[in-house]
Every structure is written in C-alpha cells, then in structure tokens.
Structure 1
Amino acid sequence: MDDLQRARDAAVAEDKHLFVKNHTFYVWEPASLSQSMWGGEMARPFAVLPGQGIGGSASTTRTNPTFFPDDFITSWQPVFLIRHPALTFESWYRAELRVEPIDINLKSWNYLTTFQYSRQLYDWFMSNCSNEDCEKENDSVTMGKPRPVVIDADDVIDGKAMSKLCEVCGMDPEHIRYEWEESRPSNTRGANPREVSYLSGIWDSTTIDKSKSSQGLDVAAKYDQWKEEFGIVAADVLYTKVKSAMPDYEYLKSRKL
C-alpha cells in the first residue's frame, strides 16, 4: 500500500496517469476469499488502511469485497479486462505446467478459474451510482463515483477497445503503440521460473498476436485438444470450469465498452 501511494503521489505531481494492473482475487478480502474456496466459519475480515497521501482516506468504511476501504477504492477508475474462460484457463494451466506438475483438482486453484470475483466487484461499483447514470455508456464518473469499465480481450486484439478506453480515462489515443521492440532480459538465468513462463510471450513479442482471439472458438474442439495436450482428467476439469465460468463472463461481456 505504501509503494502504491508513493507511485500515485508521484504520478499526480508530474501530471501523469498511473496504470495499476492486478488480478481481482489478489485484492480480495482474505477471509472471504478463503471461505469461498474452503468453506467453514468466516474468519475476522481484514482491511488495509491507506495513509493521508493523494487518495488516502481517514475513512475505514468497507462495504466492497476487497481489503481496501470504500473511499480509497472509489478514488480509482476501475477497468475490468475479461477474456473467454476457455482461453484464460488453458493459458494459466499451460503456464503453470511449464514450471512444475500441478494437481488441477486442488481447491487452491479455484480462485484462478472463475470470474465470480470480477463480477462481484463490478456489481459493487455499479451499486454506487444511480441506474440512470450508470446506463450512460460514455461516462466514466457518475454521482462522484467511478463507473466501472469492461473491455474484452478480443476488442483489444482487433484494436476496437484501446481508443475508447483512452478517451474514458482522459488519455490521448495518439500515444497508443501497436508495435515495439522485444524486451526479453539479457540474462534470465536464476530468474523465477514462473515469471519466465508467464512473461516469455510478452518479452518476445513485437506486436499484438491476433491468433489469441476467441473469435470462432469451439469449446468442444478445445476439449478434444486438451485431452491430447493435458490428458483426460485435466481436460474434464478445464471443461467443467469453463462451463461454470461462462455465465459470469457473458454477464460482464454484455456490459463491455
């Protein structure tokens, strides 16, 4: 939290935008996250209280599902990036397998194979503005609160989303880059194997990989592919998790930018 606030204060002082990326479940209130995975009695809730820097707040009220107080989390513009569950879960599982064998049935992985947390947080943000104002598609702020923005990975890949996102966030679309140089570190020996597994594709890229789109995706065909690549047990679990996640994904997708 201290590092986040320092970065934010510095960005504001320099009249810049600060983009912070994280997975929703990484900022989820820990007791609630644990209970949703393991069940049992609910432990005492945990919250992180920011200081008095820019965006800091003396309020400790927390009705949102993260460990941030309401005043702090609503001082940011929320952007939800979604992607078809079949591609999301497949990518996660493949990246983990490059590091070490894993048991896909472990409950510990449940938070990585669901869209429920993003949907719940999206709904919480929407509950903070009136129905009339929240229906205004081009407004990023309503009733003094940030309106959550949803973008689908397919729209990033085909270029439809980024200009709109910049406009909503008050940024200049002219600065969007569609090509770049490779950024692989000169020496990855001794690097965290999981970091290498997840970031190699980004390091080696020079432009957007349009093959990553879900356009025309056939989940049944994916299931057959998973059986060949991962085996029948993992394929069955992935297929079940994808089916379970689709309603939340479709819900968010119907509200995309």
Structure 2
Amino acid sequence: MGAYQPQPRQYWLLTYPRTSSNLLVKILGLDEQPNVMQGHLQAGYYFLPVLKLMNGLNLHSRGVQEWTENERKQMKECYQSCFNTLNQLLEDAKKKNCSVFVKEHCNHMAHPVSITEEQSGVTLDEAPWMVDFPKIFGQLPTRSKTNETVLPDGFLRQWSPTFLIRHPALAFPSRYRASLDLNDAGGNSINGDRGTLGMTLRWSRLLYEWYSDNLTAQEAFIDGDATWPLVLDGDDVMANRDVVLRFGEILQLDKKKMRFSWETVPEKEQAEMDMRMKRYLSTLIGSEGIVKGKTAENLDIDVEAKKWQKEFGEEVAIRLEKLVRAAMPDYEFLNARKLKAKNSPLAV
C-alpha cells in the first residue's frame, strides 16, 4: 500500500495586523510541508492591493457614496483582480491535488458599503459589492445579508477557516508603532479612518459568526473534538506549543517539518528586503525562536494606556485606548472560543 495522502483542503488564516501570523506560518514550516501550497507574500494577503489603492486614491477620507465613477471603477477592478489571482491559486492546487494555506486580513475583504456604514454610522441606499465568480454547481453565486465581504457565499464555504486573534492592547499599539517607523502618513493619523481600519475585531467576529451560522455539520466537522471555524490566540502561538501542534495536526501537517527554532536571517539578506516587510518581520528575522514576554498575561489596559501616553503623547494614547476598549467585547467573544490542546478538558 502507498503512503497515506490527506484529503486536500483549503485552509484560510483570517487575521488583522500584528497578531503573530508571520510567526505562526514560520512554526508551521509551510515551505517544507508536503502537499501544501501557500500563498505569496508570507502565505497570502491577496487583497492587500485593495488597501494600497484606497490609500493611493485617498478614499479613506470619503464614504463610498462620495467616490467618483472612475474611483469606483478602479476599486471594483482591483477587488476582482485580487480575487482572480487567489482563485487561480486554488485552481492550480486542485490540478496538483494538494492543500492550500492562505492568510488574509479580514478588513481587506470587507465591502466598501459596510466599511462606510461602520465608520459613519449612516445606512446607505446601495447594494453591497461582490466580485464576479464562476457558477457553482451550475448556479449563479449568491451573497447572504450577513456576509459583509466582497466574496460570494459559495466561495467562502470552500474554505476551512481559522481566525487568529491577539489582545487589542498588544496588537493595536504595535500596528501604530510600525506605521511610525515606516513614516506612513495614513497609518500615523490615529484619528483618521485610514490609520485605524485594521484596529478592530469587528470584521473578524462578523465573518466568524457567518461561518458558524452557515457551514453544514459536514463542512464544519474536523475530528469530533473540534469544528470549523477555529480560533487561535496569538498568546498560544507564542507560549503554548501543545495548541500549535494540535493546530498542525488539524491541518494534516507533518509535525517533523514544524519548527520552534531557526537561524536568524543574515544581515545581508535583511538589507535587501523590502522596507515594509523588514519592519513587520523585524522580531522574526532577528530571532532564533519564539521571543518570550510578548503575551497578554497579567495585562492591564489602564497601565498600558499610561505607557502609551509616554510613548506616543496624550492625544494618540486617548485614541488608542478608545479603540482597544471598543474592540474588547469582540476579542473576548472570540477568545472564549479558541482552540485548546487536545488533552485539555476545555478543548474546542
């Protein structure tokens, strides 16, 4: 008999900025895993061009109802191009009969009408945007009311989704800090929509709830101890090896290819890296393993807010604290559903 070949799946890691997703990808050893294709640019971000175009056209300062016809055309074409590239990866994987692992920030896929309504508090008389998608089983794609992405329901249901979260009081300041280091004018504008679009768990929770409500029992089934969608907390990625190994098992990975230590990236190679990638991977490329002390254990938002005042100034600290506290209900909701080690009595 030949070696066992796991059934190919489409694994989606759904995140927001600074959740330790790069660390997780490194630990999983996806570049050496047999029968697994990973997305480009650190395993994904296929919809990143959408964010770049929004920045370039300065659309964050205006609601979608104020965009010109040309701006709308450019944005719709960008969403479609991103989708086509991602869908091509899936087609290539099917031809090779292998699994796919892709990560994406949830806010990159939220449709502009929903984003505008969230930021303005005003309900728009405009249909949600949706990319064109080939017929599924001979039927035209549909999009349910609770699906606030630009993707049709049928496409979403093709995936086995995992939501990676991290305490907002760690993720949000880290996102702002990186923007400062990169001299990102939009990211530095903590009071503007552009700089704070990723400082929320709203899109993660909405998509998690959509999956929870729409996957059939067969689609959600993993192994009797866990079901899709999954939730991983960045703290566990950094400090709970058993949870990460459990996740690798669910993904049908070769545990011998997973790694919890590695060599630092040579300085010459670091010097040749893209500036943004180098900044966002700074801890990872300069380490030989998981850096301790970056978890939310014993974290107190009041204490952290005082640190932000010293680091960023009072105005930014006040805005950061407001964003963090606003995100906590969604974080706590998702954190309560996070994956546990298999031997845990609370295993999800």
TM-score (normalised: structure 1): 0.85
2:237 is matched with which residue? 156
Matched, 1:203 2:271: no
Asked whether the 8 Å contact 1:50–1:57 carries over to 2, the reply is no
Deviation at 1:197, TM superposition (A): 2.4
Equivalent of 1:171, from 253, 259, 268?
Answer: 253
Q: Provide the secondary structure at the position in 2 that maps to 1:177.
A: coil
1:59 is matched with which residue? 140
Asked whether the 8 Å contact 1:8–1:18 carries over to 2, the reply is yes
2:101 is matched with which residue? 19
1:255–1:227 CA distance, 2 compared to 1 (3 A): same
- Whole-angstrom CA distance in 2 between matches of 1:4 and 1:30: 20
2:225 is matched with which residue? 138
- Whole-angstrom CA distance in 1 between matches of 2:304 and 2:247: 31
How many residue pairs get aligned? The number is 247
Deviation at 1:172, TM superposition (A): 3.1
Equivalent of 2:298, from 216, 224, 246?
Answer: 216
1:81 is matched with which residue? 164
Matched, 1:6 2:88: yes
Equivalent of 1:119, from 205, 223, 226?
Answer: 205
- Whole-angstrom CA distance in 2 between matches of 1:24 and 1:251: 17
Asked whether the 8 Å contact 2:270–2:278 carries over to 1, the reply is no
Once the two structures are superposed, residues 115-164 of structure 1 have per-residue CA deviations (whole angstroms, 9 ceiling, x without a partner) of 11111110111111479x97997243xxxxxx211010111111232122
- Whole-angstrom CA distance in 1 between matches of 2:270 and 2:172: 29
Asked whether the 8 Å contact 1:59–1:69 carries over to 2, the reply is no
Q: Which runs of 5+ in 1 are unaligned?
A: 141-146
Deviation at 1:85, TM superposition (A): 0.4
1:121–1:209 CA distance, 2 compared to 1 (3 A): same
Asked whether the 8 Å contact 2:134–2:140 carries over to 1, the reply is no
Q: Which runs of 5+ in 2 are unaligned?
A: 1-82, 340-348
- Whole-angstrom CA distance in 1 between matches of 2:233 and 2:270: 34
Equivalent of 1:72, from 141, 144, 155?
Answer: 155
1:144 is matched with which residue? none
AA partner of residue 210 (structure 1): K
1:90 is matched with which residue? 173
Once the two structures are superposed, residues 92-128 of structure 1 have per-residue CA deviations (whole angstroms, 9 ceiling, x without a partner) of 0100011225221112333211111111110111111
Matched, 1:244 2:326: yes
- Whole-angstrom CA distance in 2 between matches of 1:224 and 1:6: 48
- Whole-angstrom CA distance in 2 between matches of 1:37 and 1:183: 40
Deviation at 1:224, TM superposition (A): 1.5
Deviation at 1:2, TM superposition (A): 2.4
1:236–1:160 CA distance, 2 compared to 1 (3 A): farther
Asked whether the 8 Å contact 1:96–1:197 carries over to 2, the reply is no
Asked whether the 8 Å contact 2:157–2:215 carries over to 1, the reply is no
1:50 is matched with which residue? 133
- Whole-angstrom CA distance in 2 between matches of 1:187 and 1:122: 36
- Whole-angstrom CA distance in 2 between matches of 1:203 and 1:57: 47
Q: Provide the secondary structure at the position in 2 that maps to 1:251.
A: helix
